[in-house]
A and B are shown apart, each in its own frame.
Chain A
């Protein structure tokens, strides 16, 4: 298994764990507005929102700089996977927009807590889609060339 393939697998598992954790917190807290009522939860959320992209950027940069870890074939797979990543994020935003517009149409406003949820879900979906894109890319390249 290529080093990048391993990292993609780890990212996919971490993404799944984050998704399950997010859903578990939502279920445990009762509803989405719990984020707004609990200041500690809000601070944790903001730290995660800033921390996850930073850690992701640093890890990607470190990985891409090692020629023995990532070469032109891996870069090709990464480039192809970013298409899947982009599409997944766009479709998730479309789903959020339609769902929230329809649910809160009568109120004329959307609870502010959804901003956090939308961003968090975009991050998770982006990570999952890229990891999946990389794993599928290796599988397709090994099968078809």
Chain B
């Protein structure tokens, strides 16, 4: 079984310390979902993952990575 990792916190920092609220508005979700994503307590749908990547202006793979346990 693998797991989904993400670099949202790092990317926010790299984008002039974008706030969680701002990212939530750009990605069309709530701030609580951004918090859950950053804490890796929620795996987003493909659509939300693309919206988050688009909010940063980077490809999906730069935000989310699939880590295989094996």
Q: How far is the CA of A71 from the CA of B36 in the complex (A)?
A: 13
* Size bin of chain B's contact surface: 10 to 19
Q: Which residues on B sit within 8 Å (CB–CB) of A141? A: 36, 41-42
Nearest first, the 8 closest Cβ-Cβ pairs linking A and B are A145-B41, A71-B29, A2-B32, A73-B33, A71-B30, A67-B28, A71-B33, A72-B45
0/1 string, A127-144, CB within 8 A of B gives 1: 000000000000001101
B40 in contact with A145 (CB, 8 Å): yes
Q: What's the least CB distance linking A68 to chain B, in Å?
A: 7
- Pair A72/B40 contact, Cβ less than 8 Å: no
State the Cβ distance, B4 to closest chain A Cβ, in Å.
Answer: 10
Contact (Cβ within 8 A) B42 A68: no
With an 8 Å Cβ cutoff, the count of chain A residues facing the other chain is 16
Roughly how many angstroms separate A133 CA and B26 CA in the complex, as a whole number? 29
Instruction: Give Cα A142–Cα B36 distance, bound, in whole angstroms.
Output: 7
Q: How far is the CA of A69 from the CA of B33 in the complex (A)?
A: 11
Query: Main SS of the interface on chain B?
Result: loop
Nearest B residue to A67 via CB reads: B28
In contact, B30 and A70 (Cβ under 8 angstroms)? yes
Q: Tell me which residues across on chain A come within 8 A of B30, comparing CB atoms.
A: 2-3, 68-71, 73-74
24 A–B contacts from the bound complex (CB under 8 Å): A5-B32, A67-B28, A68-B24, A68-B25, A69-B30, A71-B28, A71-B30, A71-B33, A71-B48, A72-B33, A72-B44, A72-B45, A72-B48, A73-B29, A73-B32, A73-B33, A73-B42, A74-B30, A74-B33, A141-B36, A142-B36, A142-B41, A145-B39, A145-B40
Residues of A within 8 A of B40 (CB): 145
Report the nearest A residue to B27, measured CB to CB: A71
In the complex, chain B residues whose CB is within 8 Å of the CB of A71: 28-30, 33, 48
**B residues less than 8 Å from A144 (CB atoms):** 41
Partner of B29, one of A1, A72, A145: A72
Looking at the assembled complex, report how far the CB atom of B6 sits from the nearest CB atom of chain A, in whole angstroms: 13
CB distance from A87 to the nearest CB of B (A): 25
Chain B residues with CB under 8 Å of A70's CB are 30
